[in-house]
Amino acid sequence: MIRRRRSTKRGGRGDGSVPVYLNVYDLTSINGYAYWLGLGVYHSGIQVHAVEYAFGAHESSTTGIFEGEPKHCEGFIFRKSILMGWTDMTPGEVRGVMEEFAQKYRGNAYNLITKNCNHFCNDACIKLTGNSIPSWVNRLARIVNLKLMKVGHLKIEDKVCEGEEKNLRSSSSQSHSSPLPTTTASRSRSCSQGSSTP
């Protein structure tokens, strides 16, 4: 079990503390413009004890967490380094934290919208410093995820309503004394009641 020690002041510097940085990289040259709108596409890594930890995709079920030289992630353009806080963890303890995350962050579990390098960095930052990464780093993924959830919810709701209407039609054609409502208003109520269930 990893023993975790923190300084008494949140974000403060205690004896033996080392800084924890979030290194942010541009994924595309469009970020030069998108950054000012708060909608860039970024890769990120956590730098602590002169090692940068990051998460990436591959087809294997082994961990997608990797380590490298700080501020030099191949294929990405370094943008900035942000001091996230301080940790009293030793290099071995930090490595232990990364091993704890290894199962959750498998290479084949990577998802650009719901489990990407920025999600990993946020979890690692919270574990190491108690602080979350800045919201702008993963804002685009959150926006897309919300849009997909809304579209997915509407599609599911439409299918439920279509299914209910088919059931209502078949029930009313089989039995003239059916207790099920057959008016448009009652079908709408039925669909809206059904949409509250997941």
**Catalytic amino acids?**
43, 117
Rounded Cα distance, 38 and 107, in Å = 28
- Residue 187's H or E segment, with its range, is helix 184-194
Q: Number of H helices and number of E strands within the chain? A: 5, 5
18 backbone dihedrals φ, ψ, rounded to 5°: -125, 150
Rounded Cα distance, 13 and 145, in Å = 36
Look at the block and give the residue holding tokens 């290894």.
102
User: 54 CB contacts (<8 Å, ≥6 apart)?
Assistant: 43, 44, 45, 46, 65, 66, 67, 68, 73, 117, 120, 121
